[in-house]
Amino acid sequence: MLEKIIIVDFGSQYTQLIARRVRELNVYCEIHPFNSTLGLDESVKAVILSGSPFSVRDENAPQIDLSNIKGKMPLLGVCYGAQYMAQHFGGQVLPSETREYGRANLSYVSQSNSFMKGISDNSQVWMSHGDTIKQVADNFEIIASTEDVKVAAYHIKGEDTYGIQFHPEVYHSTEGLELLRNFIVTVAGCSQNWTASSFAETTVADLKEKIGNDKVVLGLSGGVDSSVAAMLLKEAIGDNLYCIFVDNGLLRKNEFEQVLEQYKDLGLNIKGVDAKSRFYEALAGESDPEKKRKAIGRVFIEVFDDEANELTDISWLAQGTIYPDVIESVSATGGPSATIKSHHNVGGLPDFMKLKIVEPLRLLFKDEVRRVGKALGLPDNLLGRHPFPGPGLAIRILGDITPEKVRLLQEADAVFIDGLKKAGLYDSVWQAGVILLPVQSVGVMGDERTYENAVALRAVESTDGMTADWVHLPYEFLAKTSNEIINKVKGVNRVVYDISSKPPATIEWE
């Protein structure tokens, strides 16, 4: 049986980072909201309580019944989770007298405790809380402190129950991963056998059981996510998988033809559908980013409904949805997380479409998807392809969409992406593209005045898409790219480079 860690989400912005760190240790984990059934079967090796934007002293603070967990299996409380246990089991939590945000250093570590083994006395940790644990019950022992926080970590005697006031999941906690390893491997006894190969094997078996002899239709995009989802489904159900690749008129230059050829080489049943006019009609005159996304999602579903009706006995719609899509569209667990932006493949199907959804990658981050794809034998050129947004170039055209704007952006984007590949820079960039700005600027070409479009180049480096930094591309490359775009793409006379990181910006402009 697959070992797993349950992470109880109290709404912290860091909950998904806890999951990332646990998986880096080759241990499977799931995030569940605090008010849901946790599914505590014999496969669960430990439970982690997350942080929260709430104070444990708030009247409406999240509550959880720990009677089936505490003292019965390893339990770790992080920040709010630690304060919650301290408050509910005989201690006292009060507002902090001084702000406790940002970097701090441990001043005391109990090396005799297996949870703290190997953690340096002056290890840097990351604090993010407005309350502090002022007092703990007699059966609590303090196992780490900082100069300002006496109860930085505690252990409940006679139990594998621990609490930490800091966040080990963020990179600023320099030995945070080691601390999580102590809890997950040493205390909980996890065998660290959840790998890309084991995920693929388990997922294929689950898909076989879930789908049986039913037929599935899958929308392929040419990207890593839908491609890996397709190969998992092909392994599970073979010829019962029917793939559709929709040309929404918002793809990169020549992408429709190139992707169709690539998928045929992988042995997939695939049909190409030219639906450009339907998408352009739905987007006509629309400038609002969210409404553009909604329109694209609606037409996407309508096209799929039409195509699925031409096939016989289709029961399932497969999607390449991954975890960051879910996190940014809605709370991953139904908790109080804010919606950042909608994703076209998140949120269910309309009532008229009588298909069940299957999403093999829903709980994976992008780097995990690539590892699974490699385990399935997908070619490197496909696995190394930059992420491309589901709504395509529609969210890289600020303002309304027209075929002419799409043509202009496709041409500029082709210059940028081809240039990255020729310069040997493509593989060192997580995601790159060009944004068509809703402004014109004055320029001079020859002896004539021009008043044409401005475009922005965007290139970022990231691990999972949750955070990203802009890439320091060489000035010489940027100069050459700017010159080539202005000379080759009629209608552009100015090129700028976006040097914003995520956060506060997002990777895409819309």
Catalytic positions are: 79, 167, 169
Q: How far apart are CA 168 and CA 124, in angstroms?
A: 10
Give yes or no for a contact between 324 and 171, defined as CB atoms under 8 angstroms apart: no
Q: Is 452 exposed, middle or buried (0-12, 13-18, 19+ CB in 10 A)?
A: middle
Pure H helices in 89-195: 176-181
Give yes or no for a contact between 183 and 282, defined as CB atoms under 8 angstroms apart: no
Residue 454 CB contacts under 8 Å (≥ 6 apart), including other chains: 437, 439, 440, 441, 492, 493, 494, 495, 496
Q: How far apart are CA 186 and CA 202, in angstroms?
A: 25
Q: How far apart are CA 391 and CA 292, in angstroms?
A: 8
CA atoms within a 13 Å half-sphere pointing along the CA-CB vector of 37: 2
Q: How far apart are CA 253 and CA 185, in angstroms?
A: 49
Give residue for tokens 């069940």.
356
Q: Is 121 exposed, middle or buried (0-12, 13-18, 19+ CB in 10 A)?
A: exposed
Residues in the chain: 510
Residue 474 CB contacts under 8 Å (≥ 6 apart), including other chains: 423
Antiparallel, parallel or unpaired: β 75-78 and 44-49:
parallel
DSSP 182: I
The candidate with the shortest Cα–Cα distance to 504, out of 480, 470, 473, 464, is 470
Q: How far apart are CA 480 and CA 502, in angstroms?
A: 26
Cis, bond preceding 62 (omega within 30 deg of 0): no
H/E segment holding residue 283: helix 276-283
